[in-house]
């Protein structure tokens, strides 16, 4: 599932030539998404009940982009550019909201700390483009859009083992049973980028 998130920070550019620029910086980003799976709900008595779970992740990262920007010559007040590179990010925190679909009353849990379920870093391949509008001198207003393709598994957890009926199961002691393999999910997103360069 998709969610709307945001980031903010500082970017700096180093001119390799007039039209080739190395760009990097530091950003705080809020990313995430929604996943659905067969899981377990722990009731007030401590018993686990099978239920389809809708879990929404909100992960905060410290991002460091390493991007090559290719710019045209200035045309009037406008300069057009394309970007290609990588974003590497390190987890600052992670939280989740849970919606238990099959339980009477559809109970919810909000703002649960799930930092131990999320891998400590992530990396995206970045491609995109945009336009810069010269306000005066070296001051430019920048608008761009990028596609960020994540290729590291976000999750550091194991999914529930399922029974013949397709529902999550518990062992003889009533504890959850997990599969040997890791759960898997990637974050891919489009970003609208707006900034001012001095």
pLDDT tens readout for residues 15-68: 999 999 999 999 999 999 999 999 999 999 999 999 999 999 999 999 999 999
State the pLDDT at residue 1: 77
pTM: 0.89
Question: What whole-number distance in Å separates Cα of residue 39 and Cα of residue 56?
Answer: 14
Other C-beta atoms within 10 Å of 195: how many?
A: 16
The strand pairing partners of 81, in sequence order, are 71, 130
Residue 115 phi, psi dihedral angles, 5° rounding? -60, -30
Average pLDDT over residues 84-108: 95
State the pLDDT at residue 3: 84
The strand pairing partners of 90, in sequence order, are 62, 121
Other C-beta atoms within 10 Å of 196: how many?
A: 10
Q: Mind listing the pLDDT tens digit for each residue in 164-187?
A: 999 999 999 999 999 999 999 999
């Amino acid at each position: 599932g998709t969610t709307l998130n945001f980031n903010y920070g500082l970017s700096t550019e180093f001119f390799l030539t007039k039209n080739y620029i190395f760009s990097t910086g530091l950003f705080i980003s809020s990313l995430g998404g929604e996943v659905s799976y067969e899981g377990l709900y722990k009731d007030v008595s401590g018993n686990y009940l099978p239920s389809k779970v809708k879990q929404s992740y909100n992960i905060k990262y410290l991002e460091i982009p390493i991007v090559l920007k290719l710019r045209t010559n200035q045309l009037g007040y406008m300069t057009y550019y394309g970007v290609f590179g990588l974003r590497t990010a390190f987890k600052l925190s992670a939280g989740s909201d849970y919606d238990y679909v099959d339980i009477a009353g559809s109970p919810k849990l909000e703002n649960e700390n799930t930092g131990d379920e999320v891998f400590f870093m992530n990396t995206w391949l970045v491609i995109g483009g945009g336009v810069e509008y010269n306000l005066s001198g070296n001051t430019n207003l920048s608008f761009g859009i990028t596609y960020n393709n994540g290729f590291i598994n976000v999750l550091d957890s194991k999914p529930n083992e399922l029974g013949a009926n397709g529902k999550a199961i518990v062992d003889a002691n009533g504890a959850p049973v997990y599969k040997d393999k890791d759960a898997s999910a990637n974050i891919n997103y489009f970003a609208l980028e707006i900034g001012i360069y001095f």
